[in-house]
Structure 1
Amino acid sequence: MFSQLKPIAICQHDATQGPAYLQSYLDLCQLPYQIFAINHGEAPPLSCKDYSAVVLLGSNASVNDPYLWIKQEEVLVQDALTRHRPMLGHCFGGQLLAKVLGAQVRPNAVPQIGWDPVRVTAFAEAKQWLGDQAELNLFHWHFETFQIPRGAKRLLYGRYCLNKAFAYGPHLGLQSHMEVTSESIKAWCKQDRQSLLNLQHLNSVQSEEDILQNLPAKVAALHKAANFTYHRWLQQLPGYRPCLDNAEHLAC
Structure 2
Amino acid sequence: MSLHQLRVLVIQPETQDDAASLGRHLRLRGVPTDLCEVEAGAEVPLDASPWHAVAVLGGTMSVHDDLPFLPRVRALLRDAVARDIPVLGHCLGGQLLAQALGGRVVDNPNPEIGWWPVQHNGSALARDWLGEEALMMLFHWHFQTFELPAQAQLLARSAACRHQAFALGPHLGMQFHVEVDAAKLARWCQEAPPSGSPLAALPSVQTPERMRADTWVHLDACQRLATRLYDRWLALARARLVLGRLTART
Q: What is the CA–CA distance in structure 1 between the aligned matches of 2:40 and 2:67, rounded to whole Å? A: 14
Is 1:92 equivalent to 2:96 in the alignment? Answer: no
Q: How far has the Cα of 1:222 moved from its partner?
A: 0.5
Change (3 A) 1:182 1:113: same
For 2:212 and 2:49, locate their aligned partners in 1 and report how far apart those are by CA, in whole Å: 41
In the alignment, what sits opposite 1:174? 174
* Residue 71 (1) aligns with residue 71 (2): yes
Q: Once the two structures are superposed, what CA deviation does each residue of 1:202-230 show, in whole Å capped at 9, x if it has no partner? A: 01100000000052331111011111111
1:153 alignment partner in structure 2: 153
Shift of 1:189: 2.5
Per the TM alignment, residue 192 of structure 1 is displaced from its structure 2 partner at its CA by 5.0
Summarize the alignment of residues 85-234 of structure 1 with structure 2, pairs less than 5 Å apart: 85-193=85-193, 197-234=197-234
Distance 1:57 1:191 in 2: 18
- Secondary structure of the corresponding residue to residue 27 of structure 1: helix
Contact 1:123/1:153 (8 A) holds in 2? no
Contact 1:196 1:205 in 2 (8 A): no
**Pair 195,97 (structure 1): closer, same or farther in 2 beyond 3 Å:** farther
- After the TM superposition, list the runs of 4 or more consecutive aligned residues in structure 1 that deviate by more than 4 angstroms: 192-196
Query: Structure 1-normalised TM-score?
Result: 0.90
Taking the aligned partners of 2:136 and 2:58, their CA distance within structure 1 comes to 20
Post-superposition shift, 1:194?
Answer: 6.1
* Cα distance, 1:196–1:158 mapped onto 2, change above 3 Å: farther
**Aligned counterparts of 2:81 and 2:178: Cα–Cα separation in 1:** 23
Secondary structure of 2:62 counterpart:
coil
Partner residue, 2:5: 4
Report the secondary structure of 1:111's partner residue: strand
Other-structure match for 1:24 = 24
Q: 1:107 to 1:80 in 2, by over 3 A?
A: same
Q: CA–CA distance in 2 between the matches of 1:195 and 1:46?
A: 43
Q: 1:196 to 1:220 in 2, by over 3 A?
A: farther
Segments of 5+ residues of structure 2 without an aligned counterpart are: 242-250
Q: Distance in 1 between matches of 2:119 and 2:34?
A: 33
Change (3 A) 1:214 1:62: closer
State the distance in 2 between where 1:138 and 1:236 align: 24
Provide the residue aligned with 1:248 in structure 2: none
CA contact 2:114–2:139 (8 Å) conserved in 1 = yes
Structure 2 counterpart of 1:4, one-letter code: Q
How many correspondences in the alignment? 240
CA gap 1:64/1:196 in 2 versus in 1, 3 angstroms:
farther
Q: Deviations over 1:18-61 (max 9, x none)?
A: 11001111111111111111011211111111111110000111
Output the CA distance in 1 between the equivalents of 2:214 and 2:119: 22
The equivalent of 1:246 in structure 2 is none
How far apart, in 1, do the equivalents of 2:129 and 2:57 lie? 19
The answer to whether the 8 Å contact 2:21/2:180 transfers is: yes
Length-normalised TM-score, structure 2 = 0.91
Q: Which runs of 5+ in 1 are unaligned?
A: 242-252
- Cα deviation for residue 2 of structure 1 reads 4.0
Instruction: Give the Cα–Cα distance (whole angstroms) in 2 for the partners of residues 42 and 192 of structure 1.
Output: 29
Contact 1:9 1:36 in 2 (8 A): yes
> C-alpha separation between the residues in 1 aligned to 2:194 and 2:46?
36
Give % identity.
Answer: 37
1:83 CA drift (Å): 0.8
